[in-house]
Structures are given as C-alpha cells and as structure tokens.
A and B are shown apart, each in its own frame.
Chain A
Amino acid sequence: MHIVVCIKQVPDSAQIRVHPVTNTIMRQGVPTIINPYDLFALEEALRLRDRLGGTVTVLTMGPPMAEDSLRKALGIGADRGVLLTDRFFAGSDTLATSFALSQAILKIGETWGVPEVVFTGKQTIDGDTAQVGPGIARRLGLQQLTYVSAISEVDLAGKSITVSRRAEGGVQELKTALPALITMLEGSNEVRRGSIGDVLRGARAELVTWNAAAAGITEMGNCGLRGSPTVVKRVFAPKARATKAVPIETRERDAETIAEDIIAQLYATQPALEAELLRTAAGY
C-alpha cells in the first residue's frame, strides 16, 4: 500500500509577536514546526502501513528550509520525503496550493505507485483554513473524508475503506472507495517517537526535491500569486477596546463583599438579567 501524507512547516504561532508600531510580524527567533495537526495524519498513515505493509511518502510544499520538516517526519518513521519548492509557488492561496500539491501527488504516483490514500491534517495553524485537503481531493477526483477520527477497515483488494467521521451533532460511519483523501481529526491517535535508527535515517536520507518542472507542472498560471484568486489587501492589529475594564475593589475586602459588589455591578449593567436568572433557577 502506498500512502502520501501532506505536511506543512509552519511558524510556531505560540511564539509569534506583532510589532507594536508597524503591525508587522516579528519573526525574530520564531521557530518552525511541523503543523501539529499533520502529525495525527502522519501517525495514522504509519499505522496503516505497519498493519498492511507498504510505504509512506511525506510531501511538503515550501521554501528549501521546509526540508527540516521532512527529515523530522522521516525520523518519526516515514519512508520517503518529497520537497516541492519553486519560487513560482510563492504567494499561493489554498486553491493554488491544492493545485501544486495535487500535481506533485500525480507525479509521486507515476514514480512510486499510485497512492491508495492521501492524508492531510485537519487544518494548518498558520493558514487555518482546512481547505487544502478538500481542494486536493477535488482536483484529483478522490473521495473526500474530512475530520476522520478512526479508520476501522481498509480492504485493499476490494478497494474500499470504512471510517468514522466527526459530523455535525454526531459521528458518521462512512464506507467509500479507494483512492481517498483523509483529513485526520486531532487527538485521534498518539504520535509515536521514532527509534534512534529512524532519526538517524531521517537525518541522513536523500530527500527528493522537485521544482515545478520536475513535478510535471506546466500550467504555471495555476501556481503562486497568479493562480490565487484571493489577495490579502490589508493586515492590521485587532483594535483595543476604547474603554478600560471597570475595576471592582478587592483590596482589604473579603471574598463575600467582593462577590456582592460583582453581582450589584452586573445587575446594574444588565437590568433584565436578574429576572432571567430567577426564571432559570425556578426551572430547576
């Protein structure tokens, strides 16, 4: 079985700061990580491989330094890493990204065998759109299974797969045909730690690096800025609230007095609230 996992290298947004004056991102010292949601996809792929045999190819599109994320994925246990990098991809929105990735997946299929399953994470923490997975599925005509929490059955001979999928208000159990694209729900598995042999292999592996041409992409108009229907017009900081919080005196007061004060102030701002609370309370 051949499985492709799309992973993205993202800045660790917990550590991003905004320049207070210019509102630009201060990238100083901000480390990059594999998009945390993608690790659940990777782990699920490795489990399928371990169970059914085959190989896992990780694919990322990004600048040359995105190579680090591939090595990391190899260190966790993936078999092969493909880096898709070209300055023509710069400025891609989700539509252009899904185009480039889907073309690379076709090329991966030609080179190492057509994948039965393509995985992506649920969403990225920088783009945060959850659109690239569905985009790839549409472009490749794959069955689209988003927010999958468990894969219960894979029938390679019958080319079918059964999964549990988080839906509105419940869990759907779906059965569909392979090949399929799965976006994995977070928390659905626990990402393994590669053995010392895995990390050594990851550190030394020869990665496959493709530019647009090498990936067989000819329609450059579908890539990068040119292939992106959306444009970012303006970036700005959330505006601060005009009025500061009203302080409720706490110094040298006991908790009971503070509590009474809070309630008094709250009822004063929302005159209808007391009656509503009473109604709710009476409903018990």
Chain B
Amino acid sequence: MATVQERFDAIVVGAGPAGNAAAYTMAKAGLKVLQLERGEYPGSKNVQGAILYADALEKIIPDFREDAPLERHVIEQRIWMMDDSSHTGMHYRSEDFNEEKPNRYTIIRAQFDRWFSSQVREAGGIVLCETTVTELVKDTKGNVIGVLTDRHGGPLLADVVVMAEGVNGLVGQRSGLRDELKPDNVALAVKEMHFLPQEVIESRFNLKGDAGVVIEAMGTITKGMTGTGFLYTNKESVSIGIGCIVSDMSKSGIKPYNLLDSFKSHPSIAPLIAGSEVKEYVAHLIPEGGFRAMPEIYGNGWIVAGDAAHLVNAVHREGSNLAMTSGRLAGETIVWLKRRREPCTSVNLAEYKKRLEDSFVLKDMRKYQKIPALLHGNRQLLDLYPRMMSGIAQTWLRVDGKAKTAKESEIFKSVRKQRGLAGLVADGLRFARAWR
C-alpha cells in the first residue's frame, strides 16, 4: 500500500462543532486542511436534537441562517423544579425572540453537523469519514507531526493537529497528552427523539410557525444525583433527555435509561410526549468538571478545542458555542501563525490560550469554576429545594378552609424543619459565592 506523500497545513480530528469550526476557518483562509471523522458521516453519532447559539456560528458563517438546517428558534424558556408529582416553574416567553435574527435555535445534530461539514468542503477542506484517528505521530523530539488512522497507508503528516475529538479525548490520552477522564468530571446524558406531528407540537406548546420552547428541569428526577433533565421542541419531534454525573450514577447503581423512563413518565412531562414515536436512544458524555478539570490545550504541533478541551458551561447548558468558538480561535491562531510564517510550536500556540482568555469562553469557564464542586457536595440543592417549593406552592394554592396566616406559618415551619434556617442561609451564601 502506497503511503500518502503530501503534507497538510493542518489535520483536524473530529467533525463536531469544534472540528468543523476549526477546519472551516482554516480552509476558508486558504490553508490545506484535512479533517478526519470516525462516523459514517459528520453527525452520524449525534442523532439528538440540541440548542444552537447563533452568535458563535455567526462569527464563523455570518449568513448561516440562509441554508443551515435549523428546527425552531427559541421564544420560550421554562425552568422547572420538579418533585415526584409536581413542578414549580419559571417560564420566560417573549415576542422579542421572534426577531429577524433569532439568538437560539433547536437543531438536530445529525443534520446540522452534516451541513456544517458541507461548508468545510465548499471552503476547500478535505473531509474523510469512517476514518478513526488512532494516535498522534511524533518526531524524535516529541513534536506532533501527524496522525495514524485505522486505514491502511498512513501516516498522514501536517504542521499542526487540531484535536476536536469530543469529550473522551482518546487520541490525546493515548498519546500521553492528557489524563483519563475522571468520573466526577463528566455527566452521562441519555436522550431520545420523540416524533410528533408538527400540529401536535404546536398545540401542546402553544407555538406558531418556527417558534420553539425549551424546558430545563431539575429536582427529584435525578434521584438525588447531580444532574438535569431537558426537553427541546424541534419541528416534528421533541428531544428529551436527562444527565447525571458519572460518579453519582455508578454509586447509585441507577441505570440511565431507567432514569429517562421515569423522567418521561413524570406527570408534568408525560402529556407533552404522549402518542409520540421514539426514534433514537443515545447516551453521551458531557464534560462538566468546569475550568478546574481542563487538560493542557496546546503543545508542540497540537492544539485542543471543544469538549476535548473540557469547554462546557454546565450551568447554562452551553457546549456547542464554546466548541465552535474555541475551534474558530484555534483555526484563527494557526492561520495567523501561517501568515507570519511561524511554526506551530508550543510557545507560538500560546496565542490560542490568550485568545480564549479574551473571549467569553475562558471568562465564563472561570466564573463558574466552583459550581460543579458545589452542586456535587450539596445535593439538597437539587432534591430538597424542589420538594420544598412544591410543598410551599401546594399549601399556598390549595383552598381548604384554613386561614391564610395558618398556612404561612405552616410553610415556614416546614421549611425550617426540612433544612433549618442556618442551612438555608449557608446554601444561599455558598451559591452566591460560587456564582460570582
């Protein structure tokens, strides 16, 4: 088998949001880019629906709205605190979100990633699917100079390798550039697509046209584990899922699909998906360890972006935007070095980190760096509080002949009994501090 002789300016591992952003940015600038994806096609491993944050993509492809496969733009956000039979919620819905260039969309990754990848091709990048990168190739000095794949005829050589391989980061791990994932730092999310006719979705969620709703849910649905549930409306389907920190899962022994089943049968959720046809069940990891769990993100001849760099803001459920932004900044850094005819050494690639620091990416990561540990150490936030709020709401709303003053003191007493005043204050303070 003949080996491939040519050398690429950059090799990108993975065709998720991060890899596509990096490959597109570099190809568009005229670099010779080779992108490798292990899936049958970009997005094939990502059938689920998700939220797309327009801003991050706009900075890469300004007029993406013209042809990207978008499902619905989000006009309503519901945040639900759930106990076993109720939910207490905040809904924010605004006509302002029906703007000309909406800010958030629901998307189906299988289609979106595919479209994004087609943009990479159009920009001149070469995308090879069904090709898994097995390890990095280093020269005698330990500098990364290319990759090996699971196909005959390697290695493939490049000036720099962008690792955008997603949360597992196996390539980096195998090549000794990063540690194994810690169960405390990743959540396991399971997700299903439920098909429903468009009219049904629109009437159940009170929607018109392309408008959509997002529900984020927490509370007893995670059975005392740190995690959240969610439901997104797509055009003709609803994405529903739930995720918890892996170490919690293994401690509790609860099976992820059981968790999803009980979330789906919750009386507040079940009617929303009644009569639907389930299409796909996927399980996927999310890096939720925050800033403190980030690995090294650059070195001699290599750079890391997206989930592989652990860039996820779990509090705001943002991931793809950090992935795209980090991918773009990685690409821009490499283009910048190329233009200056500088090699992609560790020293030069430090520019990438600097650009990340200047962007919202590392600012947000820093801001929330204490949250994961906080949630993890204080499960009451996700279990007790939803129960308490539901109890309060019920006492307050149920008209049963009791005097309102009696109700007030009942509420107050029950709150004190369940958490204690000191506990309440402490939780509040801890949370405020972590948030700051």
Residue from A75, A196, A197 having most chain B Cβ neighbours under 10 A: A196
Which of A22-30, A113-121, A169-177 binds B?
A22-30
Which residues of A sit under 8 angstroms from B41, Cβ to Cβ? 31
A111-148 Cβ-contact flags toward B at 8 Å (1 or 0): 00000000000000000000000000000000000000
B225-256 Cβ-contact flags toward A at 8 Å (1 or 0): 00000000011110000000000000000000
Kindly identify which residue among B151, B275, B280 contacts A196, using a CB–CB cutoff of 8 Å: B151
Which residue from chain B places its CB closest to the CB of A18 in the assembled complex?
B277
Kindly identify which residue among A17, A28, A29, A199 contacts B128, using a CB–CB cutoff of 8 Å: A199
Q: Is the interface of A mostly helix, strand, loop or mixed?
A: mixed
* Residues A26 and B126 in contact in the complex (CB < 8 Å), given A196-B154, A197-B153, A200-B4: no
- On whether the beta carbons of B236 and A200 are closer than 8 Å, the reply is no
Which residue from chain B places its CB closest to the CB of A199 in the assembled complex?
B128
Which residues of B sit under 8 angstroms from A26, Cβ to Cβ? 195, 236
- On whether the beta carbons of A203 and B111 are closer than 8 Å, the reply is no
- On whether the beta carbons of A195 and B127 are closer than 8 Å, the reply is no
Residues of A within 8 A of B (CB): 15, 17, 19-22, 26, 28-29, 31, 33, 75, 193-200, 203-204
Which residues of A sit under 8 angstroms from B2, Cβ to Cβ? 195, 197
Which residue from chain A places its CB closest to the CB of B1 in the assembled complex?
A195
| A17 vs B111: C-alpha distance when bound (angstroms) | 16
Which residue from chain A places its CB closest to the CB of B44 in the assembled complex?
A31
Which residues of B sit under 8 angstroms from A195, Cβ to Cβ? 1-2, 151-153
- On whether the beta carbons of B126 and A197 are closer than 8 Å, the reply is no
- Which B residues between 136 and 178 are near A, CB-CB below 8 angstroms? 149, 151-154, 156
Which residues of A sit under 8 angstroms from B235, Cβ to Cβ? 28
B185-200 Cβ-contact flags toward A at 8 Å (1 or 0): 0000000010111011
Q: Is B433 an interface residue (CB 8 A)?
A: no
- On whether the beta carbons of B126 and A200 are closer than 8 Å, the reply is yes
Q: Is B279 an interface residue (CB 8 A)?
A: yes
* Residues A196 and B153 in contact in the complex (CB < 8 Å), given A28-B111, A29-B111, A203-B128: yes
Q: Is B320 an interface residue (CB 8 A)?
A: no
Add 5 more A-B contacts to A22-B197, A29-B110, A31-B41 (CB < 8 A): A21-B200, A29-B47, A75-B128, A200-B4, A200-B34
Q: Is B108 an interface residue (CB 8 A)?
A: yes
- On whether the beta carbons of A20 and B156 are closer than 8 Å, the reply is no
Size bracket, chain B contacts: 35 or more
Interchain nearest-CB distance for A64 vs B (Å): 12
Kindly identify which residue among B111, B114, B126, B199 contacts A204, using a CB–CB cutoff of 8 Å: B126
Q: Is B119 an interface residue (CB 8 A)?
A: no
Which residues of B sit under 8 angstroms from A194, Cβ to Cβ? 151
Q: Is B325 an interface residue (CB 8 A)?
A: no
- On whether the beta carbons of B126 and A196 are closer than 8 Å, the reply is no
- Which B residues between 108 and 132 are near A, CB-CB below 8 angstroms? 108, 110-111, 114, 126-128, 130-131
* Residues A196 and B152 in contact in the complex (CB < 8 Å), given A19-B236, A26-B195, A31-B41: yes
Q: Is B40 an interface residue (CB 8 A)?
A: yes
Residue from B44, B108, B151 having most chain A Cβ neighbours under 10 A: B151
Interchain nearest-CB distance for B2 vs A (Å): 6
Which residue from chain A places its CB closest to the CB of B237 in the assembled complex?
A28
| A196 vs B108: C-alpha distance when bound (angstroms) | 30
Which residues of A sit under 8 angstroms from B275, Cβ to Cβ? 20
Instruction: Pick 23 A–B contacts, CB within 8 A, sort by A.
Output: A15-B279, A15-B280, A17-B195, A20-B277, A21-B199, A26-B195, A26-B236, A28-B111, A28-B235, A28-B237, A29-B47, A29-B110, A29-B193, A33-B40, A75-B128, A193-B152, A195-B153, A196-B151, A197-B2, A197-B3, A198-B153, A199-B130, A203-B128
Which residues of A sit under 8 angstroms from B110, Cβ to Cβ? 29, 31
| A22 vs B235: C-alpha distance when bound (angstroms) | 15
Which residues of A sit under 8 angstroms from B130, Cβ to Cβ? 193, 199
Residue from B108, B130, B156, B280 having most chain A Cβ neighbours under 10 A: B130
- On whether the beta carbons of B108 and A28 are closer than 8 Å, the reply is yes
- Which B residues between 42 and 88 are near A, CB-CB below 8 angstroms? 44, 47
Interchain nearest-CB distance for B40 vs A (Å): 7
| A9 vs B212: C-alpha distance when bound (angstroms) | 33
